[in-house]
Structure 1
């Protein structure tokens, strides 16, 4: 685990991320808050590409909680059976859809506590929805961010909660909204797990990682 970087270094890192990609986007396909919530819930232990393949046809016919309930669990399973843990995920999607219809008028709430009370929705999923749909600077820490945070010293921590707090505490406010997207994309395509692509890294000169690749 690298030591926490200083404020000025972190600011320069995110200035470079912003210059390269001013408006980073999440890669899960969705058409509204509900389909985003479902897509993120389905993405646990699955790739975004795999979820997108499964949900393209699904969201054409079930893009609201009521339409999902009308579709039914078995039909939902037919759409998502290529995704890991699909039976449990289908059960949770049906349960959360019913709660949204009965308790929230079919709308996705903009409260983290309310989101986390839904079946199959943890803190990371709630933070993604808050950030991507409601544009609240919530930090969704996944394996990429956890790796980068500790490898680079941008936001080190022994667990995801500590890394989340480190982002909130050390990343300048002007970069908070897009911080987790920049970090995810950097981890997905440049600072990969086994052999980071240091030769094309925007922040190579600022990163203290000792085992840089050529």
Structure 2
């Protein structure tokens, strides 16, 4: 992914928006979930899988990465760990996603190394996103765009934020928060490079594989 720099007036058409999966916060049966994940990733294009378990101790996180990362890699899907650069590095993840209350971007880069993918939560704040982009983040995440019960949220950006970002900055942006098959196309059209989805896939009425197929149809508008 490109580092921070302003876009030029002659930026070519951007590629289609892609799906970025986030695990459920609690996975009671990892082996069963791994089988469901395998089916979901086989159903269509997925750019990344973020392993986000809350609450979870270090042993639980390590075990989850050990079980789920090989599934993702069979499908050439990047493995991102939430919050913990140290564990991301130790478990061989492709990258880490950090929030504003987690390790600093500089610390995450120091721990992960120059080639790892690092994403930063920026809520609805373009200044935070610009600082992250200038600091070497590989992507910035905005949200929550819609109500969600996956995590507590207080920020509600407008899709216009994605449009402004897409028109002015090269670093990719991820839209997150309450995203479903029914509303994802709005965010893709607004300028999201990726849509991050958890419940919208895992709780889909027709199952996760059907959800991935449906998201792919809607995102390739």
- TM-score normalised according to structure 1 size: 0.29
More helix by share: 1
More strand by share: 2
- TM-score normalised according to structure 2 size: 0.29
